[in-house]
Structure 1
Amino acid sequence: MAEKALAKARAKARVACLLSGNGTTMSALLFASKLPDCPYEIVLVASNVPDAPGLKIAAAEGIATFAKDHRGMSRPEHEAIMDAALRAAGADYLALCGYMRILTGDFVSEWAGRMVNTHPSLLPKYKGLDTHQRAIDAGDRFGGCSVHVVTAELDGGPLLGQMPVAILPTDTADSLARRVLLAEYQLYPRMFADYVGRQYRADWLLEQVRMRALALPEVADRDSHGSPGWHTGGKSGKYFAYFSERHHGEPHIAVLVKTSGQDELNALVERDPDIYFRPAYYGASGWVGIILNRAGVDWEHVSHWLERSWSTVAPKRLAKLHNIADEF
C-alpha cells in the first residue's frame, strides 16, 4: 500500500516541448526521459511549423504532436491556440527546443517559472543571435551554452546551469556551433531534470514551507523530535506547523497543520486523498498532512493553511494585528 502511494506521489512532471525545426534538443530531452528515475515525461511536442522534422521524431517515439502555422495570424492569436493545446495535454512545464518565435509577455507570464530554454552562449554574454561569431570576434577562450528559466527579458531568466566549450584557434562559427550543440545535448536534460525534479526533493520543499511560515508574524524555527517545526508567540509559544519527511513509514513529504478537529480532518482526507492524509502520530490531535512530493502543488493553498493554522495558536494581539493588516 505504501509503495503504491509513493508511486502516486512521485508522478512525473508532464512536459511539453516547443520546436520549429529538426528537434535535436527535443530528442535529447526525450531520450533522457526514458532513463530510470527521470522526474519528467514528455506528453506533447508542438510546433509553429507543420512539417518540422522534430514532429516526426516525436511521433515515431509515440509522443503526441500538435502544429499550427503562425503565418497569417497575429502573435496573440497564434499563442492562444498553442496555449490551449499545451494545457489540453496537461503540461506542467514547457521546454523550448529551438522554437523560433518571440513569445509575448502575456504568454511568458502565464507560464512563469514553468518554462525553460537553452541558449548557445555563456550568459549573460551574447544574448540573441550570432553568439558563436561574437565569442570568436571577442577573442574569448570559451564559448558554451546555458540553460535558464524563461522570463520576459530576452535570454535573461535565472540560470540553471552552464557548460563551457573551448574555442580552438581554427574555429569558425559553424565548427564551434557543432561542439556547443553537443554540450547542449548533455546539459539541457540534466538541468531540466534537476529543475522539475526539485518538487520531490525534501530540501527544496522544506525551504518553500519555511519561507512561507517565517513570513507570518513572530514565527521562529524550532525542531520538534528531530523534525523542523514553526511556532509563534515567543519562547512559550505554540507550534502551528511541522515538516514531515516520510515519518513513521509514510510515503509522503508533507507539512502538517491544524484543522478544526476530527470531522474536518476526515472530510479532507476522504475528499482529496491525493492532497491530504492523516499523520500517524499527529492525526489523533486533529492535524492534517498536506502532501508536497507530488506534481502541481498549489503553494497559495499551502500558504493559506499555514496562515490558518498560525491563527489558531497565535496570541490574540498578533492575530488581531494580522487581520487588520490584511484589510489593507
Structure 2
Amino acid sequence: MAKARVAVLISGTGTNMAALLYAAKAAECPYEIVLVASNNPDAAGLKLAEAEGIATFAHPHKGLSREAHDGIMHDALVAAKTEFVALAGYMRILTPEFVSQWEGRMLNIHPSLLPKYKGLHTHERAIEAGDSHGGCSVHLVTAELDDGPILQQTPVAILPGDTADSLAARVLIAEHQLYSRVLAQWVARENTPEYWLNRVREHALAQAEADEVASHGMPCFGIIGGKKFAYFSHDHHGDGRTALLVKISGAEEQAMLIEQDEARYFRPAYFGDGWVGIRLDLGDNDWDHIGQWIAKSWRAVASKKLVKLLDIADEF
C-alpha cells in the first residue's frame, strides 16, 4: 500500500521534523516526508532535510499579508502532492482559509498538556502554577490557536529545581517520540477495519428507521423490526477480506459486478445470489459511492410506504 505523503512546516532548527523524517525511514512506517517548507529561508532544518534528500521550499513572510503568504505555502504543498501536513515549530498563526484547506489533514505538536497553556512560555507557566507535570500534545489544527481536537499526550514530570530550560529539554524528548507515533497512526487510520466499520455505520444509520445489531458474528444493519440491508464482514469464516455486504437484484447483477471488477466484488459465502460483497481493504474506498450502495440496499428491503414517505420528504 502506498505511503501517505507528508509535508512538514518549520521555522527553525526542525528537531521534531528530524524525528518525523528518521521515523519515516523505517520500512513499516505508513508515511513518507515529501517536502520540508519554511517561512524562514535560513532555517537550519532546511539544510538537514536537503542533506537527507528531502525536497525543500522556503519563502519569507516579511512584507506579505498572512493570506498572501499562506497562499504561497499552500501552492507549494499542492505542488508536492501533499496529503497531510505536520507543523513542527512553524511560528506562524495560520489564516482560517489555509486551515480549512487542510482540515483533518494537518497536525501540530504543542509543548504543554492542552488545553493548559496555549501559546508561548508553556514551561514557565507550568512551573509557576505548581503543576506536577508538564508535557506535550499532538492535536489537529483548527482556526483557533492550539485548540484543535487532541489526539494524544505525553505527561513529563516536573522535578524539584526544574527551570523552564531543563523541563523543556525533557519535554522535547517526549515530543520526538510522540509526534512520529501519532502521525503514523493518523495517516493510517483510514486503512483499519475500525475506521471502515465506523464509515459503514455512519452511512447505514443515516437511513430511515435503521438500527444495528450483531448477526452471524458480524455488525449488521437493518430496518427496525424488519429486514437487514447491510453487513460488515471482517475475515468472516477466515476469508481474509474486510467487506461490506449489500442487497442486489439477484444472480445476474452479482455476476455482472464480479465480471466488471473481480478484485472488488465477490459472492459472499452463505448469503446466496441476492447479496454481493464489496471489499473495503483495497486502499481506494470511494465513500460516497459506498454510501449510495448502502442507500440502494436499504431501498431494496424497506416497505413501499416507508420509501414513498422518504421520497415525499426529499421533495421538500
TM range (shorter): 0.7 to 0.9
In 2: Cα distance, 1:306 partner to 1:323 partner: 16
Deviations, residues 37-75 of structure 1 (Å, cap 9, x unaligned) = 222222222222223222222222222222222222222
Matched, 1:257 2:257: no
Deviations, residues 1-22 of structure 1 (Å, cap 9, x unaligned) = xxxxxxxxx3322211111111
Deviations, residues 94-145 of structure 1 (Å, cap 9, x unaligned) = 1111111111112211211111111000111100111111111111121111
Counterpart pick for 2:296 among 308, 311, 315: 308
Deviations, residues 218-246 of structure 1 (Å, cap 9, x unaligned) = 112233432222122x43x3332221224
Give unpaired runs (5+ residues) of structure 1. Answer: 1-9
Letter in 1 for 2:101: E
**With structure 2 as the length reference, what TM-score do the two structures score?**
0.88
Partner secondary structure for residue 72 of structure 2: helix
Counterpart pick for 1:142 among 130, 133, 137: 133
Compare 63-72 and 261-270 and name the one that shifted more: 261-270
- Alpha carbons of structure 1 residues 133 and 40: separation in structure 2 relative to 1, 3 Å: same
In 2: Cα distance, 1:320 partner to 1:28 partner: 57
Matched, 1:47 2:47: no
- Alpha carbons of structure 1 residues 259 and 105: separation in structure 2 relative to 1, 3 Å: farther
Counterpart pick for 1:123 among 99, 114, 119: 114
Between the aligned residues of both structures, percent identity stands at: 57
Contact 1:253 1:293 in 2 (8 A): no
In the TM superposition, what are the counterparts of 1:226-241 in structure 2 within 5 Å? Answer: 226-232=217-223, 234-235=224-225, 237-241=226-230
Contact 1:147 1:162 in 2 (8 A): yes
Letter in 1 for 2:311: N
Deviation at 1:250, TM superposition (A): 5.7
- Alpha carbons of structure 1 residues 227 and 104: separation in structure 2 relative to 1, 3 Å: same
Compare 209-218 and 19-28 and name the one that shifted more: 209-218
In 2: Cα distance, 1:103 partner to 1:293 partner: 35
- How many residues are treated as equivalent by the alignment? 312
Letter in 1 for 2:4: A
**Equivalent residue number for residue 151 of structure 1:** 142
Partner secondary structure for residue 63 of structure 1: coil
Matched, 1:191 2:182: yes
- Alpha carbons of structure 1 residues 56 and 214: separation in structure 2 relative to 1, 3 Å: same
**Equivalent residue number for residue 244 of structure 1:** 233
Compare 140-149 and 309-318 and name the one that shifted more: 309-318
- Alpha carbons of structure 1 residues 325 and 85: separation in structure 2 relative to 1, 3 Å: farther
Deviations, residues 67-89 of structure 1 (Å, cap 9, x unaligned) = 22222222222222222222232
Give unpaired runs (5+ residues) of structure 2. Answer: none
Deviation at 1:247, TM superposition (A): 4.3
**Equivalent residue number for residue 216 of structure 1:** 207
In 2: Cα distance, 1:170 partner to 1:195 partner: 37
**Equivalent residue number for residue 5 of structure 1:** none
- Alpha carbons of structure 1 residues 92 and 265: separation in structure 2 relative to 1, 3 Å: same
**Equivalent residue number for residue 269 of structure 1:** 261
Deviation at 1:292, TM superposition (A): 4.7
Counterpart pick for 1:133 among 118, 121, 124: 124
Deviations, residues 244-286 of structure 1 (Å, cap 9, x unaligned) = 224476664332334562476258638xx6xx43355469546
**Equivalent residue number for residue 84 of structure 2:** 93
In 2: Cα distance, 1:259 partner to 1:92 partner: 35
Letter in 1 for 2:227: K
Contact 1:254 1:293 in 2 (8 A): no
In 1: Cα distance, 2:230 partner to 2:260 partner: 17
- Alpha carbons of structure 1 residues 137 and 229: separation in structure 2 relative to 1, 3 Å: same
- Alpha carbons of structure 1 residues 167 and 248: separation in structure 2 relative to 1, 3 Å: same
Letter in 1 for 2:112: S
**With structure 1 as the length reference, what TM-score do the two structures score?**
0.85
In 2: Cα distance, 1:230 partner to 1:246 partner: 18
Over the aligned positions, Cα root-mean-square deviation in angstroms equals 2.5
In 2: Cα distance, 1:321 partner to 1:11 partner: 45
Compare 308-317 and 98-107 and name the one that shifted more: 308-317
In 2: Cα distance, 1:168 partner to 1:286 partner: 62
Partner secondary structure for residue 171 of structure 1: coil
**Equivalent residue number for residue 291 of structure 1:** 280
